[in-house]
Structure 1
Amino acid sequence: MPKIILDTDPGIDDAQAIAFAIAHPDIELLGLTTVFGNAEIEITTRNALHILDVFGQPQVPVAQGASDPLHQTRYPAPDFVHGTDGLGNIHITQPSSAPVSESAAEFIVRMASENPGEITLVAIGPLTNIAHAVSLDPSLPAKVKSLVVMGGSVAHPGNVTPLAEANFFNDPHAADAVFAHDWPATIIGLDVTLQTVLRDQDLAMIRDAAGRAGKFLWDTSRFYIDFYASRLARLGSTDRSCAMHDASALVYTVLPDAFQLIAGPTRVINDGIAAGQLSVDTQQEPYVLPAWTDRPLTSAAIGVDAPRVLDTFLSAITNHSFN
């Protein structure tokens, strides 16, 4: 059973991922660590605590993390995607609990030391907390079972620039620093997450089967679905659906054979017009520039059995009794 720490910036699709982590019988959720991204850090932390309340798991610890990128100025939160409250403008109540006193990086380092070789870190926001944690304890990559990252794109165009996916774009220096270390690391990026789609009828099924949690996922998804529908309408589609970005990374932890991977030394471009671009050197040729030389191998997903991933997600959510 994977023991998981979920590094998250809730976020509508983050809420879907948290629901799956709670619902799947083969996942033990040890804690949430929060980061800026889909909203400012105070909002993402509040959202994480509130989500745990709604899903009947207020005892799961939440550690607040980075409010800003490592080096660059933080970009404005994408309130046109997730709403000003990060959860589709549903006007949530104050949570019943508070974050723990440790920072996200301290929490990750302590838990990895207490559970050597057992924890899978799943990062579904900017990688700032992970970069801080490995800076705090350079032996961290050897202490975790694996690192799974929702971010980047190998071949598909980006979603914030033609080259960059949002999580890597929001802190490219952190992403590049993280992949300089020798983790057992896998990237689940836009190449596969855009193939795994939640339709309105799927979300309605969750609403009708999963009690208060299901209604919450339905309510928060309205803003998100409207955003995707507006983009699809420009392409002449009337479809109402959304990509299952963050939850796909969680599904990978229990269903890795549904994903096709490549591997190679990995960089994330730090600045300029290509800032946030993922580059995986699958050829490992002696190139003129040595930027990929002596970097460890990182795996990245380029293919997915999307129906299996979707079915695994829906089955876990609709069959779980959220208290």
Structure 2
Amino acid sequence: MTRRGLIIDCDPGVDDAVGLLLAFGSPELDLLAITTVAGNVSLERTTRNARILRQIAGREDVPVFAGVDRPLRRPRAEAAEFHGAEGLGGLETFEPDAPAEPGGAVEAIVERVIARPPGAVAVAVMGPMTNLALALRAEPRLAERLGPVVVMGGARSEGGNITPSAEFNIWADPEAAAEVFAAGCRVTALGLDATHQVRGTGARIAAIEAQPGNCAQTTASLLRFSQDVERRIVGWEWAPLHDPCTVAWLLRPDLFRAVPCRIAVETESDLTRGHTAVEFRVEASAACHHWVVEANAAGVFDLIAQRLGTLP
């Protein structure tokens, strides 16, 4: 089996946690690093949370690197109301046994991508794109060597979840997102148009909970926390599952439909800060961006349940 090299850049975060556990249970992924960024909660918490999840999954072989603690130009924003004060919903947090690695996330991304052939290392971005933007600044060759970048971020037909037109990950650091989309990387974006189709119904959560092992039980608990929050704050019956769709796309792209496009991000207007302008009128053969418009929710949740059943 050929394993895909993967760096996961994240801000755990309830849904990031599910995405990490999905990746930990997927043997076709060669997890080269987890890099963390401030986003859903502070950098200190996101880095600790990544290490907690690594320990729960028994994957201390995967190095964790702390990234940057604020956006490129903006004050830091958080989403603790959706993820809990510590970022992991109702999960009891603790200080993990294994520390984060020395050195930073930006350097870790550059070193791992440059050390391998072009197209050999994918990056899944589950939070603000600050680390990746700084890595591209430090080493512009990354743009032609990354293969591919898959991001959870943006909104088009669904509208935003932080403003009428902006999704949180893009809104939190729009300058970073704008730089990444403009860098020439191959980027597949799973915005709210796709992730709002992937809902954690009661039956889907129960199917995960029926799997053996603590990781499956942890995931079910995290999904129920999200369900409760969405009902209380947004009024939806079932919560959408955002960040794990990046890993699911890498594992099973057949579960999604993506359209060639060109994506730009609004950075100058306070009213539309973080808006993703998705232009489908492009030459498909030359497009380096793809926007996911359809997602097979049942397939995504079946994949998660199956992979979690292989973890402790």
Question: What TM-score do the two structures reach when normalised by structure 2?
Answer: 0.93
Local SS of the residue matching 1:25: coil
CA distance in 2 between partners of 1:208 and 1:310 (Å): 13
CA drift of 1:88 comes to: 0.9
Map 1:191-210 to 2 at 5 A: 191-210=193-212
Query: 1:219 is matched with which residue: 210, 221, 239?
Result: 221
CA RMSD of aligned residues (A): 1.8
Name the count of aligned residue pairs: 306
Map of 1:274 onto structure 2: 272
- The aligned residue for residue 289 of structure 1 is none
SS state at 1:100 partner = coil
Give the conservation status (yes or no) of the 8 Å contact 1:259–1:305: yes
Query: Does the 8 Å CA contact 2:5/2:32 hold for their aligned counterparts?
Result: yes
Letter in 2 for 1:92: T
TM, length-normalised to structure 1 = 0.90
Which whole-Å CA distance do the structure 1 matches of 2:34 and 2:272 have between them? 31
Report the secondary structure of 2:300's partner residue. Answer: helix
Partner residue of 1:314? 305
Q: What does residue range 1-323 of structure 1 map to in structure 2 within 5 Å?
A: 1-75=3-77, 77-116=78-117, 117-231=119-233, 233=235, 239=237, 241-271=238-268, 272-283=270-281, 297-318=288-309, 320=310, 322-323=311-312
The separation in 2 between residues aligned to 1:296 and 1:284, in whole angstroms, is 7
- 3-state secondary structure, aligned to 1:245: coil
- Greater than 4 Å deviation, 4+ residue runs: none
Report the secondary structure of 1:101's partner residue. Answer: coil
1:181–1:296 CA contact under 8 A, matched in 2: no
Aligned-residue identity in percent = 31
Residue 231 of structure 1: how far off its partner (Å): 4.2
Distance 2:299 2:141 in 1: 35
Quote how far apart the aligned CAs of 1:304 are: 2.0
Q: Describe the SS at the equivalent of 1:105.
A: helix
Q: What secondary structure, in the 3-state scheme, does the structure 2 residue paired with 1:303 have?
A: strand
CA distance in 1, matches of 2:219, 2:296: 24
Counterparts of 1:157 and 1:19, CA distance in 2: 29
Mapped to 1, the partners of 2:57 and 2:70 lie a distance apart of 28
